[in-house]
Structure 1
Amino acid sequence: MSTQFQLMTEQRFRPFFFTQFLGAFNDNVFKTSLITLVAFHAVSLTTIDGGTLATVLPGLFILPFFLFSATAGQLADKFEKSQIIRYVKVFEIGIMLFASAGFFLHNIGLLAAALFMMGMHSTIFGPVKYSYLPQHLKETELIGGNGMVEMGSFVAILLGQVLGAWLAIQSSHEIITSIAIIAIAALGYWTSRGVPNSPAAAPNLKINWNPITETYRNVKFIWQHQTIWLAIVAISWFWFYGATLLAQFPNFAKNVLYGDESLFILLLSIFSLGIGIGSLMCEKLSKGKVEVGLVVFGAIGLTLFGIDLYWSGISVHESLNNKYLLDYMDFVSLHHDMHGNIIFTYWRLLADIALIGFFGGLYIVPLYALIQTRSEKSHQSRIIAANNIFNALFMVISAAFSIWMFKQGYNIPELFLTTAILNALVIIYLCIRQPEYLKTFVAWMKP
């Protein structure tokens, strides 16, 4: 049996895995339920336009990463981690009680505040999440452990989004959504009680409560360690690429593929499962060591299948007409275009999305393991916190870049094509700045 699956039988990993899984799951159940509610029932909540709210609310979730990451990193380095995890889980239960009041009172202010606090919850948990693993796993287990965590995170996001959307459209959504989010939070706290003791890395650290000066200090520290700096840039670029695709999937399904909500869910599911499988494959492909050559291999796949997604998307769009409104079953069973010609592009498009996810998993897991193994132990959590700030920044830039592209008259497939080409430039830059990536990739490719 693979080491990464053996970890699920061990106390040092299993409670932590399920705690982080349930946290990501609840984040997305609540967030998606709220955004779906806003999209379809905004009038019952507020006079603010639903489209405006759907744009602003995700920003409220991301904002705490800028405000509190620097402090969260210091707390994770200064204090014992399992205790922080349990405090965070108690905080989550409180947030979900607060959110439930918002659902019952149809109060958008309470719901927006709860979303902001869930962003705080994720901000505090993030540095603990990635600095916990190197404390409890051997270096040979880090790739497998990170692969399991990334797989779990994306499966949790997928399931959370599906459940959240379903809860929001039920007639008695207030009560069933409230019961679900409180129950998931309580279950997360229960699993957190099994997380083993994780001693503080820097117990004598003096907390700097000013997020601006502390963020500057962290960035300055990382810049002095270029291997870590470039790994963080590479990780943040992945979040730019992923955020660009995921944000456009609903309109891609509707306006390019002429599909309904079920087709969007199919695209999201295939992408998430692709990342999960890619993440799990990292351990086998890296042969038990931190194999940064996989980053280059993953990046090549992200570019090639991103480019092909453009071609397959255009082909499907042109082969149909806007009289179609396909559900996911219609889409996967289509074999002819509107002229009766046999085509295979539909399956090719789904394969492109699955393989973008798969190569994304191969790309991201070794980068997290690289940070964990090469960071100074006393600064590990603060480095992860700085990474989270950059991730959030790149996701905001992704949204701005997409808006700019559309204002220039480009369509969604062309946005995907541009992102795939930019990905090639990023990995070339990475290999030039850090030749280790290319050298290890060449060595890894040799039989």
Structure 2
Amino acid sequence: MAAHPISTAHTSLLSRGMLAVMLAQFISALADNALLFAAIALLKAGSAPAWQIPLLQEFFVIAYIVLAPFVGPFADTFPKGRVMLIANCMKFLGAAAMLTGLNPLLAYGMVGLGAAAYSPAKYGILSELVAVDKLVKANSLMEGSTIVAILLGAVLGGWLADIWLAGALYAIAAGYLLAAAINLLIPRLPPSHPLATFAPAVMCRDFIQTTMRLMRDRDARFSIIGTSIFWGAGSTLRFLLVAWVPVALHINDLSTPANLSGAVAIGIAIGAIAAARWVDLRTVNRALPAGILIGLAIMMFAYTSNIYTAIACLLLIGLLGGFYAVPLNALLQERGHESVGAGHAISIQNLFENLSMLLMMGIYILLSKQQLPVIPITVTIGGLVLVAIGGLTWFRLRSRSDVM
């Protein structure tokens, strides 16, 4: 009987830790998304060519790719709450550098360094705070709160960038500092898979071996490829909106594309809630039809010319995306926690997701530099998503039938 109060206290500590993780993630994600629109406004104010706007994402994701061998082991070797603290401080430095006049592309790349370190810790800590059977619900809660932050960050960032750009940057920098302070409230959980050495050559070799080991796991491979397709398309769609709105809706401010990206965020939150209700790790294949429909919904959106129809299409794209991506994220965390460590697994996922973003954004930049109209570009991106997730679904279902 004496052990019961200890058990209750431990559960309470984890609950407070989960709350701190969610709150810090919310504020950090809000600042991330506000900063994107501030950076776009800075490029426009400097009369940068239009193709440099999507290049912001390329500078951001390079950090994820270059640091992929290091950020996963870093997150698994130290308490993840402290890793998140360090990452938010790095994001603050990037926002401050943008405020002091550094080229927005370079400053946004600095924020990417912090984001690359932050991601394995924020997702990896979930498998340390909750039981396996609660992972989909924990991911749904994380994604839902993050999506609300994306919505508010995009709306506030676009609005502030239109009326007071310097004020937007001051507020964003303060947001990163607040998130870092909240990270101090996360309990110091023991490291999950600490490395014996941080020698770069050893870490790169470990990363390659870990990647090969994880990719041999059928479920992990399926999750990594599936989420990579989704986030590559989602990242590209956000920048497509900046070019699409003036052409299709004849509106030339930053607030409208920011608000429309918020519609996608609301949809993802709804989809995440639905996934928590109807999908678990045993029934993850239920998410696949939603993934296929994302491509069709993007293609349908390309030809809309009314703002309310556009909002409806974007809500649908987000809903399908949330229902599709959340269960796949939970599946990878479970497989990663059981094998190579959740932080390692998320860093590998980040590598593939950001390679996908780099590829899709590269296609967009290339087509844009060739002066192809934005509507055919949007249809092309939607078609790529349709074919990619359709092919993934076919291989997934075929492998399941082979096993049976």
Q: Which TM-score band (shorter chain)? A: 0.7 to 0.9
Distance 2:56 2:300 in 1: 32
Alignment CA distance shift 1:299-1:218 (3 Å): same
CA deviations 1:33-80 (Å, max 9, x no partner) are: 12212212x17xxxxx45465354432222211111210111112222
* Larger displacement relative to structure 2 (49-58 or 84-93): 49-58
- Whole-angstrom distance in 2 between the partners of 1:53 and 1:420: 22
Please point out which of 216, 226, 234 is paired with 1:242: 234
Whether the 8 Å CA contact 1:127–1:384 is kept in 2: the answer is yes
Residue of structure 2 in register with 1:120 after alignment: 113
Deviation at 1:267, TM superposition (A): 2.1
SS at match of 1:434: helix
**Match for 1:148 among 114, 120, 141?**
141
Q: Does 1:188 align with 2:182?
A: no
| Distance in structure 1 (CA, Å) of the matches to 2:195 and 2:236 | 41
Aligned to 1:133: 126
Structure 2: 5+ residue stretches without partners: 1-11
How many angstroms apart in 1 are the aligned matches of 2:229 and 2:236?
11
The match for 1:428 is 390
Q: What residue is the counterpart of 2:75 in the other structure?
A: 76
CA–CA separation in structure 2 for the residues paired with 1:112 and 1:250: 17
Partner of 2:250: 258
C-alpha contact 1:293 1:437 (8 A) present in aligned 2? no
RMSD between aligned residues:
2.9
97 and 271 in structure 1: CA distance in 2 versus 1, 3 angstrom threshold: closer
TM-score, structure 1 length as denominator? 0.77
Hey, what does 2:322 align to over in structure 1?
361
Q: CA deviation at 1:431?
A: 3.0
Q: Secondary structure at the match of 1:199?
A: coil
Structure 1 residues 401-447: Cα deviation after superposition (integer angstroms, max 9, x where no partner): 224555778543333333333333323322333228988xxxxxxxx
Matches within 5 A, 1:6-405: 10-40=15-45, 42=46, 49-51=48-50, 53-100=52-99, 102=100, 107-109=101-103, 112-170=105-163, 173-174=165-166, 176-210=167-201, 213-261=205-253, 262-286=255-279, 289=281, 291-310=283-302, 312-313=303-304, 316=305, 331=306, 347-375=308-336, 376-405=338-367
TM-aligned CA distance change 1:377 to 1:132, over 3 Å: farther
Name the CA distance, whole Å, in 2 between partners of 1:127 and 1:182. 22
AA matched with 1:390 = F
In structure 1, how many angstroms separate the alpha carbons of the residues matched to 2:344 and 2:179?
24
**What SS is found at the alignment partner of 2:194?**
coil
- What amino acid maps onto 1:276 in structure 2? A
1:419 has 2:381 as partner = yes
Offset, 1:382: 1.4
Does the 8 Å contact 1:61/1:115 carry over to 2? yes
Shift, 1:128, TM fit: 0.8
Partner of 1:337: none
Deviation at 1:381, TM superposition (A): 1.2
Where 2:17 maps in the other structure, the secondary structure is: coil
Which region of structure 1 is more displaced relative to structure 2, 117-126 or 218-227? 218-227
Preserved CA contact (<8 Å) 2:333 2:345 = no
Structure 1 portions without partners, runs of 5+: 1-6, 44-48, 317-330, 333-346, 440-447
Matches of 1:399 and 1:85, distance apart in 2: 27
The verdict on how the C-alpha distance between 1:33 and 1:306 changes in structure 2, with shifts beyond 3 A counting, is: closer
Identity %: 23
Q: CA deviation at 1:190?
A: 2.5
Q: CA deviation at 1:145?
A: 1.3
Measure the CA separation in 2 of the matches of 1:358 and 1:275: 5
d(CA) in 2 for partners of 1:410, 1:404: 9
Secondary structure of the residue aligned to 2:341 is helix
Report the Cα distance in structure 2 between the residues aligned to 1:94 and 1:257, rounded to whole angstroms.
37
Distance 1:133 1:180 in 2: 28
Q: Which moved more, 1:298-307 or 1:272-281?
A: 298-307
Report the residue type matching 2:263 in the other structure. Answer: I
User: Is the Cα contact below 8 Å between 1:431 and 1:438 reproduced in 2?
Assistant: no
How much does 1:23 deviate? Answer: 1.4
- Equivalent residue pairs, number: 386
Distance 2:268 2:18 in 1: 21
Between the aligned partners of 1:407 and 1:387, the Cα distance in structure 2 is 30
Tell me if the contact between 1:294 and 1:362 (Cα under 8 Å) persists in the aligned partners. no
Q: Relative to 1, partners in 2 of residues 1:378 and 1:201: Cα closer, same or farther, differing over 3 Å?
A: farther
Q: Point out the structure with max Rg over C-alpha.
A: 1
**Shift, 1:139, TM fit:** 2.1
- CA drift of 1:113 comes to 4.5
Distance 1:248 1:214 in 2: 37
Alignment partners' CA distance in 2, 1:265 and 1:19: 22
Q: What amino acid maps onto 1:68 in structure 2?
A: L
Letter in 2 for 1:413: I
Q: TM-score, normalization: structure 2?
A: 0.85
Which position in structure 2 is the counterpart of 1:344?
none
Q: Is the 8 A contact 2:367 2:377 kept in 1?
A: yes
